[in-house]
Amino acid sequence: MSSKLIAPSILAADFANLERDITMVNNSEADWFHIDIMDGVFVPNISFGMPVLQAIAKHAKKTIDVHLMIVDPDRYIKTFAELGSDILTVHYEACTHLHRTLQAIKAEGMQAGVAINPHTNVSLLEDTIADIDLVCIMSVNPGFGGQSFIENTYNKIQQLKALIAKKGASTTIEIDGGVTNKNAKALIDAGADVLVAGSYVFKSADQLATIADLKALANS
Ligand code: DX5
Ligand code: ZN
């Protein structure tokens, strides 16, 4: 991927002013909306569900990248397609039949993503990587925004890059959790294509400038 992408995570937005924050992302240099759906079972937190995604999709003018942190995601693939998801990412750890799940996501016209927890080795994707459009490497344990970045992520990016090359795949590498201006360039240099950033963007005083900074760092 020539241009490296920034995906603000709406989990850190002000939900009482959601339309304002969506408009900010529309007007920014960000590339995607990253939408975190949590069920309180796969992760120890509940974020928001379909009605909120529907409201976001109504105003969002950029790619909608949905990150499902839920058990048995197959139940909702069709629903997420109907709600306007462009990319649907499921967790490796939540899928008993990952290959089947990936085909089902693509059959609904979405790009298929797989997220891996910090404890999940990249090599476990060896037999599915050719079918995966995007791998989301979790650089924190999923469930909450605002956590500290796990340094081992750099090793995992390099391992994933090597696996993608070995298999001749064209999978996009996304990094999710603890991304700031301190690690953005190093993550891209290691091989990342997309950086998700939640609290770093939404807790900053000038969100447009923060996104522009991240975009510049990622493409420097
Ligand atoms: C964590 C979510 C992330 C989160 C990132 O479970 O998947 O997308 O919103 O938030 P920050 O950037 O604050 O770590
Ligand atoms: Zn996420």
Write the pLDDT tens digit of every residue in 153-211: 999 999 999 999 999 999 999 999 999 999 999 999 999 999 999 999 999 999 999 99
* pLDDT 10s digits, 9-18: 999 999 999 9
Using pLDDT thresholds of 50, 70 and 90, give the confidence band for residue 24: very high
pTM of the model: 0.98
3-state secondary structure the chain: CCCCEEEEEHHHCCHHHHHHHHHHHHCCCCCEEEEEEEECCCCCCECCCHHHHHHHHHHCCCEEEEEEECCCHHHHHHHHHHCCCCEEEEEHHHCCCHHHHHHHHHHCCCEEEEEECCCCCHHHHCCCHHHCCEEEEECCCCCCCCCCCCCCHHHHHHHHHHHHHHHCCCCEEEEECCCCCCCHHHHHHHCCCEEEECHHHHCCCCHHHHHHHHHHHHCC
Predicted confidence at residue 81, as pLDDT, reads 98
Q: What distance in angstroms lies between residue 166's CA and the mean position of ligand 2's atoms?
A: 27
Residue 1 has pLDDT above 90, yes or no: no
Domains, the chain, with CATH or none:
5-218 (3.20.20.70)
Q: How far apart are CA 107 and CA 139, in angstroms?
A: 29
Q: Is the dihedral of CA 199, 203, 207, 211 positive or negative?
A: negative
CA distance 133 to 220: 25
Q: Which residues, other chains included, contact 93 with Cβ-Cβ below 8 Å and sequence gap of 6+?
A: 42, 116, 117, 120
Q: Is the pLDDT of residue 64 over 70?
A: yes
The ipTM of this complex is 0.99
Is the Cβ atom of 198 under 6 angstroms away from ligand 1?
A: yes
Closest CA to 195 of 160, 164, 165, 219: 219
- Rg of the chain over all Cα atoms, to the nearest angstrom: 16
- Cβ 199 under 6 angstroms from ligand 1: yes
Q: Within 13 Å, how many C-alpha atoms sit on residue 218's CB side?
A: 28
Instruction: Provide the pLDDT for residue 108.
Output: 98
143 Cβ inside 6 Å of ligand 1: yes
Task: Please identify every residue annotated as catalytic.
Answer: 36, 176
**Predicted pLDDT at 189:** 98
Predicted pLDDT at 2: 64
- CA of 141, closest atom in ligand 1: 6
Give the nearest ligand 1 atom to 142 CA: 6
| Side-chain-facing half-sphere of 52: CA atoms under 13 Å | 18
Question: Among residues of the chain, what percentage have pLDDT more than 70?
Answer: 99
Three state DSSP letters for 17-29: HHHHHHHHHHCCC
Q: What pLDDT, on a 0 to 100 scale, did the predictor assign at position 212?
A: 98
pLDDT at residue 117 greater than cutoff 70: yes
Give the residue-averaged pLDDT of 65-77.
Answer: 98
Which residues sit with Cβ closer than 5 angstroms to ligand 2, an ion?
A: 36, 67, 176
pLDDT at 44: 98
The per-residue pLDDT of the chain, averaged, comes to 98
Question: Tens digit of pLDDT for each residue in 128-160?
Answer: 999 999 999 999 999 999 999 999 999 999 999
